[in-house]
Amino acid sequence: MNGTIFAAIMHGGIVTLEVAFGAWLIGSVIGLLLAILRQLGGKPAAWVIGILVAILRGVPQLVILYFAFFALPTLGINLSPVTAAIVALGAAEASFTAEYYRAAIATVAREQQEAGRSLGLPELKIFGLIVMPQALVVAVPALLNSLLGLLKLATLASAVGAPEILYNSQLEMNRVGHLLGIAATVIAVYLIVSLPGIHLVRRLERRVSRHLIAAT
Amino acid sequence: MWAQWAHVLASGLVVTLELTGVISVCTIVFSLLLASAAVSEIKPLTRCCRLYSDVVRSIPLLPALIFVYYGLGRDFVQIGVNTFWLACLVFVLSESGYQAEIYRGIFRSMGAGQWEAGRSLGLRWRQIVTRVLLPSCLPAIIPVSVNAVVLILKDTSLASMITIQEVTLSANGLVSTSFQPLQVYILLAGFYLVVVLPIMGLSQLLERRLTRGARRPGIMLGTGFPGARRPVPLDLTDGKAAASAGRDVAGSP
């Protein structure tokens, strides 16, 4: 009996992982594209991206999720609850990760781009071979932090009926009660995952700032 | 139709703003207390504050809200505390974990050595905090506090999940009666943007104004933009690194 409740919560946990990792991938990739376009795309591109980012950043993730799940079908785009959560949370996250990349790109010394130009390298190569490899290292802690955030944000997917950890716990609570036990289990799962994660990010950050100090 | 919708959403927005106001004020005060305790010289107190921040930042906000509401909602209503205040309590406890870490970073980077200086002058903890630490860190504290208001305002949409009639729940009601989710949610997004974008602008303006001429607290990777929640601080003051403005991360709700 209790085994089945626990199993249901853990099954939900797997869906939570799916949502979080999916959204993280989308967020990291689209965020990178936005950062690159903003850097290389000229004025109109930067303008359009600026508006897009402001919208994604100013509207709550829950509202973006409702939009993806309830409003997109009227435009003929039908998404399952899990897909809608991945798309919505990923899009919202991209507006943040774009900024992490931008800040990371800014830490790469200007002289390096000029050196690349003086060697006659094309802009795209300077960006891809000189700037990005160094910037990505700096962005690692922020990206890992975004994954930790998404593991928590993934619980919003329960609002559109994705069978993730919170949704399954609520089902079990309505079915058999045991509110305290179920709540304690969910919180314990999060503590076990997040606390080491927070410490790892902290250590990586220290390493990155030491690396940057050494570079300057 | 639009006018009627706007009317419904506006009444929901009032509740959203009430929630945001109460939670913001309490969060900022509580976080400043936590942060000033975390940079004090009393080791056990420092440990407790950091543990609080780490634990609270590990627990997602929505499950916390729902579990507390399921578990205590009825009892609270029976003793005369409605769900609004219950939500405020959970929000403040949770948001303070993130905000305290941000303030602690500011105190550490700008207030280094001030404890010792205050102590050597014979000042008490309260005097050091109110007369030395807060005034000298105010230019850095104000913009991040305004930014916190934006994050809290966005997070209050989660209160719709525990039946608080704020603007997101009002919109859900409109969707279920009008069957026009596209229009309703676009209008809802507009309502949020109308409130959030000016505050974001204010936060940026204040940051530029207040840090002009002063020693900058350092490049905080990923914090120097509106809506940023997760500071990844990298201090590169004057081209060479100094004490980092808060080495730690804050996740999201």
pLDDT surpassing 90 at residue A1 = no
What's the mean pLDDT in A189-204?
94
pLDDT surpassing 70 at residue A139 = yes
| Per-residue model confidence (pLDDT) at position B42 | 81
Q: Write the CATH number for A28.
A: 1.10.3720.10
CB-nearest partner of A202 from B186, B222, B247: B247
Q: Taking chain B, what is the end-to-end CA distance rounded to the nearest angstrom?
A: 35
Of the CA atoms within 13 Å of residue B10, those in its CB half-sphere come to 6
Listed residue (B135, B179, B188, B134) closest to B160, CA to CA: B188
Mean pLDDT, all residues of chain B: 83
- At residue B219, the 3 state secondary structure works out as coil
| Per-residue model confidence (pLDDT) at position B229 | 53
Q: Which residues pair with B220 in a beta bridge?
A: B233
Listed residue (B160, B64, B69) closest to A166, CA to CA: B64
Domain with A21 in it = 2-215
Q: Which residues pair with B232 in a beta bridge?
A: B221
Q: Domains of chain B by range and CATH?
A: 2-239 (1.10.3720.10)
CA distance B134 to chain A (A): 26
Of the CA atoms within 13 Å of residue A70, those in its CB half-sphere come to 25
Backbone angles phi, psi at B112, to 5 degrees: -60, 130
Listed residue (A20, A27, A162) closest to A98, CA to CA: A27
Contacts of A209 in chain B (CB under 8 A): 233-235, 241, 244, 247
Disruptive mutation site among A28, A52, A56, A67 for chain B (greatest number of B CBs within 10 Å): A67
pLDDT surpassing 60 at residue A145 = yes
CA distance B109 to chain A (A): 14
CA dihedral A91, A61, A47, B17 (to 10 degrees): 180
pLDDT surpassing 50 at residue B251 = no
Highest mean pLDDT among A125-134, B116-125, B178-187, B200-209: B178-187
Measure the CA–CA gap between A2 and A9, rounded to whole angstroms.
Answer: 11
What's the mean pLDDT in A164-173?
94
How many domains does one find in chain A? 1
Contacts of A70 in chain B (CB under 8 A): 175, 181, 185
Interface contact B251-A149, CB threshold 8 A: yes
ipTM: 0.90
| Per-residue model confidence (pLDDT) at position B228 | 55
Tokens coding A152 = 């928590």
pLDDT surpassing 90 at residue A108 = no
| Per-residue model confidence (pLDDT) at position B217 | 44
pLDDT band for position A216 (cuts 50, 70, 90): low
pLDDT in tens, B64-85: 999 999 988 888 888 888 899 9
Residues near A101 by beta carbon (within 8 Å), at least 6 away in sequence: A31, A32, A35, A36, A135, A139
Measure the CA–CA gap between B6 and A153, rounded to whole angstroms.
Answer: 29
What's the mean pLDDT in B2-21?
94
Predicted TM-score (pTM) of this structure: 0.87
Greater confidence, B117 or B170?
A: B170
Per the CB < 8 A criterion, the answer to whether B33 and B126 are in contact is no
* Residue A180 buriedness (CB in 10 A; 0-12 / 13-18 / 19+): exposed
| Per-residue model confidence (pLDDT) at position A3 | 63
pLDDT surpassing 80 at residue A43 = yes
Tell me how long chain B is: 253
Mean pLDDT, all residues of chain A: 91
| Per-residue model confidence (pLDDT) at position A206 | 87
pLDDT in tens, A27-40: 999 999 999 888 88
pLDDT band for position B112 (cuts 50, 70, 90): low
Mean pLDDT is lowest, of A91-95, B60-64, B89-93, B211-215, for: B211-215
Per the CB < 8 A criterion, the answer to whether B76 and B83 are in contact is yes
Residue in chain A closest to B245 (alpha carbons) equals A209
Measure the CA–CA gap between A22 and B217, rounded to whole angstroms.
Answer: 35
pLDDT surpassing 70 at residue A144 = yes
Q: Residue with structure tokens 């314990």?
A: A188
CB-nearest partner of A100 from B64, B222, B226: B222
Measure the CA–CA gap between B158 and B105, rounded to whole angstroms.
Answer: 28
Greater confidence, B71 or B191?
A: B191
pLDDT band for position B225 (cuts 50, 70, 90): low
